[in-house]
Each structure stands twice: as C-alpha cells, then as structure tokens.
Amino acid sequence: MQSARFLWQALAGRAAAFVALLVLAVPLLLAACGNTGEPTVQGTAPTATTGAGGAGAAGTARGTASPAAGGGAGLDAIRQRGTLRVGVKYDAPPFGSLDPRTNQVSGFDVDLARAIAGQILGDPNKVEFVQVTSQNRIPQLQNGQIDMFLATATITPQRLQEINFSDVYYRAGQSLLVRQDSPIKTYQDLAGKNVCSVQGSTPEQTIRRLVPTAQVTLFENYTDCFTALRTGRVDAVTTDNVILAGYQQQDPNNLKLTGGLFTFEPYGVGIAKGNDALTRAVNDALRQVKQSGEYARIHERWLKEPPPPDFEQWYLLPAQEAAARFAAQSQPGGGATPTRGTTTTTRGTTTR
C-alpha cells in the first residue's frame, strides 16, 4: 500500500512539473508563430545630404528622414541643430532629379536651397535633402520630417490655409508635352484625349476645369507620366513648362512642347503654418540671393538662360498676392467645373 502511495505521489509531481513547463512554453510558441518574417515598411522618404563640394555639388541620397525633434521647424531650433532639412523632388528636372547611376540629387531647387542655407546657417552645405512628391510634400512638412520644401509648388489660396509660403522665387506656366506626330496643338484639343499629370498638383486641377471631357490619368511622379507618353499609353502630359522642357530634352526626336503657357504658376518655398520667423528668414535669404547675383547664376546654370525680362514683376511677389493672381484664373470665364470625363489613378513607382 505504501509503495502504491509513493508511486502515485511521484507521478503527481512529474505531472505538475510538466504543466509548469507548458505554461512557460506556450507564450514563446505564440510569439514565434506571430512573426511572419516580413520586413516592416517604413513610410519615411529617402534623404540626401551634401558633401564638401560647395553650392554647385550634387547631394548624395542616403538613409531615411526622421521627424525633427519637437517639430524642429523653428528658426532657433534649426540654427541649434546646424542643418536645414529641405524637401525637393527627385523626378522634376531641371528643378530636382536623382541620377540613379551616381545617387546624386541636383537641380534649380536644390541649388537655391543651398543658397538659402548659406544665408541662414552661413554654410551652403548645411542642408539635408528629403525626397517629396506633389502629394506628400505638405504632410511631410506638417509632421516635422522637413523644415521647408522647394518642390515646384504653386502658391494657391487653398495651400495658404494649410502652410506658409515664402515670396515668389520662380514663375512657371502650365503647358503640354506630346509626341512629335501628335495633332494636339492647344489644351482645347485634349477633349476626349488621355492626358497625364501627377496626384495633388495644380495642373491636374486646372486641366479638369479647362477640359471637362479629358480623360485624366494620374501618377505619383512625372517619370511615370513621361514613360506613359513615350509608350503611347497617354496622348499628352501636362504640368509646368520648365518641368516638361526637362523631359523633352531627354527625347527631343520623339517629343515636343505645345500649347504655349496657359496659366500663371508662382512657385514659393513651403514652410510650416505659423512659422513666421522662418518665413521672414527665407524671404530675406531670397532677397540676398538676388542682390548677390547668385540667383541669376543658378537660373543660367539650370535653365540655360538669364532671368526673363518680367523677372522684377514676379520675383519676391508676396505670397498672398501671388495666390490671388493664381485664383483669378479660375474665376467665371476661365473654364467650367469638370462634371464629365474619366480619371485613372495609377500608383506609380517613386523615383529613388
């Protein structure tokens, strides 16, 4: 009897130990099962920083942009940090483009950003470039990933409700890029045609208003529009003339600019809403860049000509006035609100 009791106690002890091991093992097994092995996708954009090559050197793309501490867009915070985080486009030559062979970002906006950094921080190399698109440049500014952007951004009343803008630093106009054999000559010829632009841009909104029957195809970047035009997927690409000219120069035998300029597109530096100290500092920097002749040099380097004859009429035009002039284009008589036509939104690949 005692032997049976001893055997029962031994078995009970082993069972308890086995249960305890199960209690410890189950959480580990569950954790292992929950790991799918898939990488976590980060939503931040790649950045580029300049080396010691001076104001004309290209920036090298690297890393990811992290939100600036405490918003990080204040003038004092930027000076304490010692670098200026600037959003630029990587797919909008000659204003900003990335060479995939060298991983270098360069362009008109890139050089002007360096000139602004030189005025604010005393060194044009104290700048970190972050890739932005027409769709994400304002959100990146608002969430503190960048201090400002120079990204072919038109100053509009709607955007002024969301962010600050500097005074005007460039004046563009919307135009068309088509194949050499295209019969399209003006924007009126786009009725029933497939025209491409990028998401979140003023050219997209304008072409809808001017040509309600156009079929609008949208991509995240201009590179995909350019490819769609060359392959015959769309009949035309519409955006600002200087951007279209940059792409036309890549394939001049097959592509041509047409339609003239049919809008006033005043570019401004985007800055966080209410950050008036930084806005004033940028305007002061733009004034100094003009007076020193650096603006003219940047213009000639990237646009292959001196500033136009009407330069004094729009350079440093106050943002509110520029927005009012832009808005006047959409008043009655400027085109109907689109109610017809189709839209194809295509999620394109981001230029890296």
What is the model's pLDDT at position 16? 47
| Torsion angles phi and psi, residue 60, rounded to 5 | -100, 125
Nearest of 155, 161, 201 to residue 317 by alpha carbon: 155
Which residues of the chain are in CATH 3.40.190.10 domains? Answer: 46-171+265-324, 173-264+332-345
Q: What is the pLDDT of residues 139-150, one digit of tens each?
A: 999 999 999 999
Q: What is the pLDDT of residues 71-117, one digit of tens each?
A: 446 999 999 999 999 999 999 999 999 988 988 899 999 999 999 99
Non-local (6+) Cβ contacts of 25 within 8 A are none
The fold of the 46-171+265-324 domain, in CATH, is D-Maltodextrin-Binding Protein; domain 2 (3.40.190)
Q: How is residue 322 written in tokens? A: 């520029």
What is the model's pLDDT at position 261? 92
What is the model's pLDDT at position 73? 61
Query: How many H helices and E strands in the chain?
Result: 12, 18
As a whole number of angstroms, the distance between CA 271 and CA 71 comes to 12
Question: pLDDT below 50 — which residues of the chain?
Answer: 1-57, 60-72, 332-352
What is the model's pLDDT at position 104? 86
Residue with tokens 């195809």: 217
What is the model's pLDDT at position 86? 98
Dihedral sign (CA 280, 284, 286, 287): positive
CATH code of the domain made up of 173-264+332-345: 3.40.190.10
In 3-state terms, what secondary structure has residue 299? helix
CA angle (85, 63, 37) in 5-degree steps: 135
Non-local (6+) Cβ contacts of 127 within 8 A are 49, 50, 59, 83, 84, 85, 86, 113, 114, 117
As a whole number of angstroms, the distance between CA 32 and CA 26 comes to 10
What is the model's pLDDT at position 58? 53
What is the model's pLDDT at position 99? 87
